[in-house]
A and B are shown apart, each in its own frame.
Chain A
Amino acid sequence: MGLAAPKNRSRIGNDPQNTTWANNTTRFGHRILTQQGWKPGASLGAQDAAHSAHYTAASHSHIRVLLKDDNLGLGAKRGSERAENFGLAGLESVLGRLNGKEEEVKKEEERREKVQQRAYVYRKFGFMNFVSGGFLVGDRIERGIKRGEEVKVEMKSELESSESDVKEKKSKKRKRSSEEEEIKEEVKEEQPKLKRKKKSMNLREEAARTATAEEAFESKPKKERKEKKDKKSKKSSSDPSSTTSTTDSPAPIPDEPLSDKARQKAEKRARKEEKKLKRALKKAAKEAARSNPTVDAPSSESEEDSTTVTSTPTSSVPTTGTSTPLTSVSGLSFTACGRHAVRQRFIRQKKMASIDPQALKEIFMIKTPS
């Protein structure tokens, strides 16, 4: 933070550790302890205690605590304390390579990159990501699924891939690329808003923002997928339906009463099935050059994963049994065409509105004396 950081002046006394007391060996306490056979530097307790291996440092000297005067999360460091801010990180890796620690350096760099990418996503959307750490069975962590790692990586590369997708497929798929650009636009639209608000991280706005971001996020893959599916048969169906519904646009989103999670799960399932179907169709009907499965498949997978990350890796939830009856219900809701377009339109409108402060106030229902 440097000079911009709030000044926190505190006076430190002459002897904050009170070494005058600690170093004084003529004290009553010191005398009694040595009388009873204690030697300076030794810990107390029974001689040759069987459990002495379990003693902690606190048995030798009092517990040191740090005054925490901020809300920094566990493991987070203040901006200025990060090595990369001074360019030290680059130097470190150069020196590391010179010392023949190629692999370690690479690992470290990758890790750093990951963190940065993650930070980028975080800044953009601000919602929470979680990585599965296994199950707590009784008192022990059991990790059968090593899914967490994959999910993490996928998550970060998601944005990149969508952007690169755009570049790669521009020529091939006009419709699709335009869709992608729309998303990009959305993201960009969001950016000024974020910047504006970053200064006053009002939680109200913050959460509202996350909500919209989340919605955008959720709707993205859906949208794409649907678009893909619709392309063949009902290409035009989404547009008229959306235009008709724009008139009553701020109406509640129809699928909201359904539990979001269940819906997501169901959608995922439906999507998977669709994907299979679609692939088969693609391979059969379309020319081989049009669809580039190596690019398409990973990107769609990553999208899928991104949605799961926002909630949880669905497959690892032990209650999957309960979701089966729900599938049919939400599966139906998924095929209801046009709804997603409405939703998408709604979101876009909201975003447009967010540029206009007056409209923003209306959306957030903030009453201001005008």
Chain B
Amino acid sequence: MATKREFDADDTSSAKRVKMENGNGSLDPASNPYLAHWNEPMAKKDPSNSADRLHSFKRHATTAKQAKAAEDGPINPFTGKTLSNNYFSILHKRRDLPVHQQREEFLKLYQESQILVFVGETGSGKTTQIPQFVLFDDLPQLNAKMVACTQPRRVAAMSVAQRVAEELDVELGAEVGYSIRFEDKTSPSTILKYMTDGMLLREAMHDNNLTRYSTIILDEAHERTLATDILMGLLKEVVLRRPDLKLIIMSATLDATKFQKYFHNAPLLAVPGRTHPVEIFYTPAPERDYVEAALRTVLQIHATEEEGDILLFLTGEEEIEDACRKINLETQDLIREDAAGPLTVYPLYGTLPPAQQQKIFSPAPPPLKPGGRPGRKCIVSTNIAETSLTIDGIVYVVDPGFSKQKVYNPRIRVESLLVSPISKASAQQRAGRAGRTRPGKCFRLYTESAFKKELIEQTYPEVLRSNLASTVLELKKLGIDDLVHFDLMDPPAPETLMRALEELNYLACLDDEGELTTLGRLASEFPLDPALAVMLVTSPEFYCSNEILSLTALLSVPQIFVRPASNRKRADEMKDLFAHPDGDHLTMLNVYHAFKSDDAQANPKQWCHDHFLSYRALQQADNVRLQLKRIMEREELELMSTPFENKKYYENIRRALVAGFFMQVAKREGNGKTYTTVKDEQNVLLHPSTVLAQDSEWVVYNEFVLTTKNYIRTVTAVKPEWLLDIAPNYYDLATFKKGEIKQALQRVVTKMERKEAEKGRR
């Protein structure tokens, strides 16, 4: 292993040097490829040299001084090649970061205890520096292990890995790599791996003790994503089994006591960030209309306050776009009246294409005339600007105190996406955004007493707000059988867990004793919701696994249809081109097939634009499909299609859909517009975006969301016979409540029996 790594190091080093020397323009025999044999012995010397350097290091007994000396070069201690100028200029800046002040302290605590809670405010440099500190002390290369650092977001994992590779003067994917869903950029020489928390969880499913790692760093633990929470519960058990494994929990908020308590009173190290004081302002009385109040505040700041950018938090895409339009209109007036400088407004929300998201980083506009009032930019954002994105230059924050939050209700199995008050912690986080570059101000559009009385302390972690079906499947795969006593930081409501278990039981992923079945094991191989996974796994039985594979991919990416506010009618017309009368699933499939046709592939971007489709989503779906296909091939699931000419082509697909989504079926009430969900008996409406013709009595839906009303989205018509046929367990009439649905199903049963009898008579 070690020899191999050395060889790798040689290889890259010489390649890099050639590039570097060329850049300088000087002629050095070392850079001459024809004299490669000359510098061979030299290159050989380097690694031994570097090895010496680190050999003097004793694992878990190094000091900051030693590490500093090693960092000072001139030879890269990990690769053995000479360090570049760029490295030293970065190193200089790195040494200025707040965490460097406490390197010695960090090392001491790190060496002393197995678990460490590290608190560093944003801007302290913890995400990039701490893993490097660990590298110099843990020396994972000596034991052929790795250091893992998890991130809640894919983009963060990628960009941080890129940055750290630069800082260590290595190539991305070599010593420093990253691993995110559907993309793995690591190599055998990787010693530091940035990854999404979900990826580490997936790895744990196959390697329950995570033996590949000597240190695991859970970054951004304060965000409390589902995967981080599960990982914490898991690692808490793993550290008992593996005394050699070190664990660092990194959080950005000072509410670390909870983490400490959870991890057996682990020591805490706090590093101050580089934040400036932020002055908080409340309104003296509650606002009647928070959006309007927000707009007025923004305009007032713009007209009366000093230079500095504004960040306004609103709840959703529509609200944000609307606000942007209004602010633009008003500032034009202000400028005309010469009451203010120019103001550029940028929206920011998750579904915005990345190119437009990047725009928020562009500098504020210059004054209209030299010496005039300075311009500023105003970013109107959802709560992604609260933690995920850091925008420098923000001095004013306007916080109406609301955000859209996803909450799952296990009783009626609805996922609500509603505007609700934020938490105190979240309000502080928002305010903190104003103090990144200089002292700032935060204008809260509520009273101080409302802040104290109406806001909860902490935002509920994801584990309390989600459907846990896939989590339970993962936990089962992780070998955790006692779900009741699994030590989560915030255990979910019992009903949520019950619902998840029941869903898995009906999907036949768990047997009646709660043990994982073969189907369950197979389904857990897919990074998908259990219902989708089961649909995919069983699709060969319906001779349409190719199509279901595409459909699964399409259902696991963001909305593929684009419907811009300015051009709704045209967008709907375009959607109608693909519409299939039987429902949205088939419509999506039509879109995908059209997208893959030669016609569209000639210029896919333009084609998508013309047809009001999201190129990004379709491309992503394509990528997901490829990855899922690989898993299917690995698990030896057959890929097949019913011939398109066959009239059962679409029927088979709809049947396969039922096999996964039989628990998400609704029946129309009489001849009206409303539907009732089967078993849970909730009144729902078809989402207005559906293409489904109105005369379908039974539909299967992909999601049940509560936005303004109870809506079921992405629906396809099915036949009740299929339900009884494909999911007899769920559609056991004895378990149904008396009512319309039971009667209807009863009728279908008798009809089927009669047919059966007729067939037998013949």
Chain A positions near chain B (C-beta within 8 angstroms): 10-11, 13-22, 27-30, 32-33, 35-38, 40, 42-47, 49-51, 53-56, 58-63, 65-69, 71-77, 114-115, 118-119, 122, 126-142, 148, 152, 155-156, 201, 203-204, 206-208, 210-211, 214, 252-253, 256-257, 259-262, 264, 310-312, 316-319, 364-365
- Are A206 and B296 neighbours in the complex by a CB distance under 8 Å? yes
Residue B25, interface by CB 8 Å: no
Which of B277, B291, B490 interacts with A135 by CB under 8 Å? B277
Residue in contact with A22 in the complex, picked from B258, B372, B495, CB distance below 8 Å:
B495
Assuming the contacts A13-B683, A75-B447, A115-B285, asked whether A135 and B278 have C-beta atoms less than 8 A apart, the reply is yes
Is B573 interfacial (CB 8 A cutoff)? no
Contact between A134 and B501 (Cβ–Cβ < 8 Å)? no
Q: Are A211 and B339 in contact (CB under 8 A)?
A: yes
A69: chain B residues at CB < 8 Å are 708
Docked Cα-Cα span, A312 to B682, in Å, equals 51
Shortest C-beta distance, A148 to chain B (Å), equals 8
- Residues from chain A with Cβ under 8 Å of B144 in the complex: none
A59 lies within 8 A of B498 (CB): no
Interface status of B386 (Cβ within 8 A of chain A): no
Is the pair B432, A210 in contact by a Cβ cutoff of 8 Å?
no
Does B492 contact A50, Cβ atoms closer than 8 Å? no
Enumerate B281-319 residues with CB–CB distance to A below 8 Å.
281-293, 295-297, 299-300, 303-307
Q: Report whether A207 and B295 are in contact in the complex, using a CB–CB cutoff of 8 Å.
A: yes
Structural contact, B464 and A128, CB atoms closer than 8 A:
no
C-alpha gap A204/B332 in the complex (Å):
11
Q: Are A75 and B501 in contact (CB under 8 A)?
A: no
Chain B residue with the shortest CB-CB distance to A208: B333
B419 within 8 Å of A (CB atoms): yes
A73-B286, A203-B330 in contact; A139/B490 too (CB < 8 A)?
Answer: no
Partner of A129, one of B284, B428, B708, B737: B284
- Listed by A's residue number, 27 A-B pairs whose Cβ atoms lie within 8 Å are A17-B412, A18-B680, A43-B491, A43-B493, A44-B497, A45-B488, A58-B464, A59-B490, A65-B418, A68-B420, A73-B287, A73-B290, A73-B446, A74-B421, A118-B284, A128-B283, A130-B443, A131-B282, A132-B279, A138-B273, A140-B254, A203-B330, A214-B303, A253-B338, A257-B371, A259-B307, A312-B441
Interface residues as binary, B409-444 with A (CB distance below 8 Å gives 1, 0 otherwise): 111100010111100000010011001001101111
In the complex, what distance in Å separates the CA atom of A193 from the CA atom of B715?
51
Q: Are A28 and B409 in contact (CB under 8 A)?
A: no
Residues in chain B near residue A253, CB distance under 8 A: 338
- State whether A44 touches B494 (Cβ < 8 A): yes
| B121: interface (CB < 8 Å) | yes
Residues of A within 8 A of B295 (CB): 203, 207
Bound complex: CA of A16 vs CA of B706, how far in Å?
13
Given contacts A28-B501, A56-B490, A135-B279, contact A128 B296 (CB under 8 A): yes
B519-564 contacts to A, CB under 8 A, are none
Bound CA–CA A45/B492 (angstroms): 8
A346 to chain B, nearest CB (A): 11
Chain B residues whose C-beta falls within 8 Å of the C-beta of A127 in the assembled complex: 296, 300
Known: A130-B283, A207-B330. A67 touches B706 (CB 8 A): yes
| B280 beta carbon closer than 8 Å to chain A | yes
Q: B514 near A: Cβ within 8 Å?
A: yes
Q: In the bound complex, what is the Cα–Cα distance between A279 and B281 (angstroms)?
A: 33
* B460 engages A21 (CB within 8 Å): no
Interchain CA distance A144-B486 in the complex, whole Å: 45
> Chain A residues with Cβ under 8 A from B679's Cβ?
21
B411:A152 contact, CB within 8 angstroms? no
A-B contacts besides A18-B412, A51-B261, A63-B407, 7 pairs, CB < 8 Å: A33-B497, A58-B464, A132-B280, A133-B280, A257-B338, A312-B305, A319-B306
Contacts of B607 in A (CB 8 A): none
CB contact list, B255-269 vs A, under 8 A: 255, 258, 261-262, 264-265
A56 to B492, CA, bound (A): 10
Closest to B330 in A: A207
Residue of A nearest to B435 (CB): A136
Alpha-carbon separation in the docked complex, A114 to B339 (Å): 32
- Who on chain A is nearest to B288 by CB? A76
Find B400's partner among A53, A73, A118 (CB 8 Å cutoff): A73
Question: Once bound together, how far apart are the Cα atoms of A180 and B496, in whole Å?
Answer: 66
Q: Which residues of A contact B136 (CB under 8 A)?
A: none
Q: 1/0 per residue B477-501: CB within 8 Å of A? A: 0000011111111111111111111
Choice from B278, B372, B420, B484 contacting A37 with Cβ under 8 Å: B484
Chain B residues in the interface with A (C-beta under 8 A): 121, 253-255, 258, 261-262, 264-265, 272-273, 275, 277-293, 295-297, 299-300, 303-307, 326, 329-330, 333-334, 336-339, 371-374, 400-402, 405, 407-412, 416, 418-421, 428, 431-432, 435, 438-439, 441-451, 453-456, 458, 460, 464-465, 482-502, 505, 512, 514, 674, 676, 679-683, 706, 708-709, 737
Question: Which residue among A17, A27, A138 has the maximum number of chain B CB atoms within 10 Å of its CB?
Answer: A138
B419→A68 contact, CB < 8 A: yes
The interface residues of chain B lying within 8 Å CB-to-CB of A65 are 405, 407, 416, 418, 420
The answer to whether A139 touches B253, judged by C-beta atoms less than 8 angstroms apart, is yes
Contact indicator B431/A136 (Cβ below 8 Å):
yes
- Docked Cα-Cα span, A100 to B383, in Å, equals 47
Q: What's the minimum C-beta distance from B558 to chain A, rounded to whole angstroms? A: 23
Interface core residue of A18, A36, A252 (most chain B CB under 10 Å): A18
Alpha-carbon distance A132/B708, docked complex (angstroms): 35
Q: Determine how close the nearest CB of chain A comes to the CB of B536; give it in whole angstroms.
A: 24
Shortest CB-to-CB span from B232 to chain A, Å, is: 11
* C-alpha gap A69/B290 in the complex (Å): 13
Interface centre among B283, B307, B492, B497 (most CB of A within 10 A): B283
Looking across the interface, which residue of chain B has its beta carbon closest to that of A145?
A: B279
Distance in angstroms between the alpha carbons of A52 and B253 in the assembled complex: 20
Interface contact A365-B336, CB-CB below 8 Å: yes
Residues of A within 8 A of B676 (CB): 13
Decide: B495 and A61 in contact? CB cutoff 8 A: yes
Q: Considering only CB atoms, which chain B residue lies closest to A142 in the complex? A: B277
Task: Give bound CA distance, A314 to B177, whole Å.
Answer: 50
B121 and A76: CB pair below 8 A? no
Chain A residues near B448 (CB-CB < 8 A)? 131, 133, 148
- On chain A, the residues within 8 Å of B450 by CB distance are 74-75
CB closest residue in chain B, given A365: B336
Min distance, Cβ B514 to any Cβ of chain A, angstroms = 4
Give every chain A residue within 8 A of B330 (Cβ-Cβ): 203-204, 207
Instruction: Give which listed residue, B254, B288, B489, B681, contacts A138 with CB less than 8 A.
Output: B254
Q: Decide if B505 touches A28 in the complex (CB within 8 Å).
A: yes
* Chain A residue with Cβ nearest B262: A51
Indicate if the CB atoms of A152 and B284 lie closer than 8 Å: yes
In the complex, the answer to whether B418 meets A29 with C-beta atoms within 8 Å is: no
List residues of chain B with CB within 8 A of the CB of A260: 303-305
- Knowing A58-B464, A207-B333, A259-B373 are in contact, say whether A128-B300 is a contact too (CB < 8 A): yes
Contact call B488/A63, Cβ cutoff below 8 A: no
Q: Are A211 and B303 in contact (CB under 8 A)?
A: yes
A35 with B464: CB separation less than 8 A: no
A60 to chain B minimum Cβ distance, whole angstroms, is 6
> How far is it, in angstroms, between the C-alpha of A319 and the C-alpha of B400 when the chains are bound?
25
* B667, chain A: closest CB distance, angstroms: 13
**In the complex the two chains form, is A319's CB within 8 Å of B338's CB?**
no
Asked if A29 and B501 make an inter-chain contact with CB atoms under 8 angstroms apart, the answer reads: yes
Q: Inside 8 A of A50's CB, which chain B residues have their CB?
A: 261-262, 264-265
| A201 vs B121: C-alpha distance when bound (angstroms) | 42
Chain A residues closer than 8 Å to B482, beta-carbon distance: 36-37
Q: Inside 8 A of A310's CB, which chain B residues have their CB?
A: 300, 304
Closest to B331 in A: A207
Residues A72 and B273 in contact, CB atoms below 8 Å apart:
no
Q: Which 9 A-B pairs have the closest CB atoms?
A: A29-B498, A73-B287, A130-B281, A75-B450, A45-B491, A76-B286, A133-B280, A46-B487, A44-B491
> Which listed residue, B281, B405, B491, B496, touches A133 by the CB 8 Å rule?
B281
Given the interface contacts A28-B512, A45-B488, A59-B464, does A74 sit within 8 Å of B401 by beta carbon?
Answer: yes
Given known A-B contacts A139-B432, A208-B333, A311-B304, A37 and B485 have beta carbons under 8 A apart: yes
